[in-house]
Amino acid sequence: MKLINRYIRREIISTFAAVLLVLIAILLVQRLAFYLNQVINGSLSQSAVFSLLGLQIVRFVTELLPLSFLLASILAFGRLYKDSEMTALYALSMPVKRLYRILLQIGIPLSLFLLILNFWIVPEIAQIQDVVLKKAREDAQLTILKPGVFQKFANGKHTIYVQSIDTENGALRNIFIKSNTDKKDDFALLTAEKSEETKKNNEYVVTLAQRGTQEIDENNVRFIILEQGSRTSYLEEYAEVTYFDTLRLRIDVDNSNSWPSAISWSLGTLLQIDNPYVTRELQRRLSGPISIFLLILIIPALSHSKPRQGRFNKLILGVIFYVFYFNFIGMGLAWITSGKIPASIGIWWVHIVMFIFAFYIYRRYNRSL
């Protein structure tokens, strides 16, 4: 039986490695396209692209490991059923419980590995990624704005023209900005009163300034700080002019390059601070290892097939279960953030509901044999 156990484990592990690599490759290609677009727009230095991709791999592993384990187990058992190897093993009086034992022998180390990643390694990687990203954006600061060229930012919300840029300190001279007002206004006046926002699609704002500088805040969001200028709001029936000493304009659409700040929180922070956001992050990190044990309950049932059934018949059912499970987890995390449910309840109800469902499948499958 030890030989059989090693054979099945090897089949699952080899399939698991292949599935995980394929899924990571898909996400890396998608992320590479996103970073290259940032490089083309001038908001990211091209020298940092591969460094950021390498740091993303660890995060992808934590997100894809449970799904890869589920798909690999179903595919491995499906092949054994298709080739009648499982039928031969059952004929040798191999109990079904042995399948669960083999899955636990793989699932327990994976859960421990996922715990180590979520609580120790990923927070450190997130802090390194934040430093690399900020440096990459600072390196691209001199190239994002080009003198003498009209450029669009924030998905076309702002059209910016700069007459000249000082190559020594990056100071901007004679700046023209046209902003559409049919989107959220991201202007923030520091020393002058902010004019009334407008909502007409044909209305716009023109901002002129004698000089300005670029700034990247602690969240890696890029701004232009304008000095000594005016802001003219062209309304449907009249124009309104506001003069300012200093104005702060956000030229990034979002900071989607960055990871959520909670990912970088250490285990000590999660255990010492008592608030809903910390509780939410703690439960999120625990959900991956817990999910592996719930998936083990349903894998033998989902992978079981009759001689004439296809190998991938129940693979879709496994994917559907996984999608529902992790969508419910995401919904529960969102409810914690919005305050719809207490943090003490959190997403435990999702695990309980899914455990009841998985245990029902487990009992029904074992009775049918």
- Pick the closest to residue 195 from 234, 143, 163, 251 (CA basis): 234
Element (H, E) at 222: strand 222-234
- Pick the closest to residue 52 from 144, 118, 121, 133 (CA basis): 133
Give the C-alpha distances (Å, rounded to integers) separating 82 from 90, 101, 313. Answer: 14, 22, 11
CB-based contacts of 255: which residues, under 8 Å, 6+ apart?
219, 220, 221
d(CA 166, CA 137): 18
Position 64 scores a pLDDT of 96
Q: For every one of its 369 residues, what pLDDT tens digit does the chain have, with 9 covering 90 and above?
A: 788 899 999 999 999 999 999 999 999 999 999 999 888 776 787 888 999 999 999 999 999 999 999 999 999 998 888 888 888 888 888 888 999 999 999 999 999 999 999 999 999 999 898 888 878 877 766 567 889 999 887 778 889 999 999 888 889 999 999 998 754 444 444 444 444 444 445 689 999 999 999 888 777 778 899 999 999 999 878 889 999 999 998 887 555 544 557 888 988 888 888 888 899 999 999 999 999 999 999 999 998 877 666 666 778 888 999 999 999 999 999 999 888 999 889 999 999 999 999 999 999 988 876
Position 142 scores a pLDDT of 56
Q: How many CA atoms lie within 13 A of 282 on its CB side?
A: 18
Beta strands across the sheet bearing 222-234 = 151-153, 158-165, 172-180, 204-216, 222-234, 239-250, 188-189
Position 162 scores a pLDDT of 94
Position 284 scores a pLDDT of 95
Position 190 scores a pLDDT of 43
- Pick the closest to residue 230 from 203, 198, 208 (CA basis): 208
C-beta neighbour count of 33 within 10 angstroms: 10
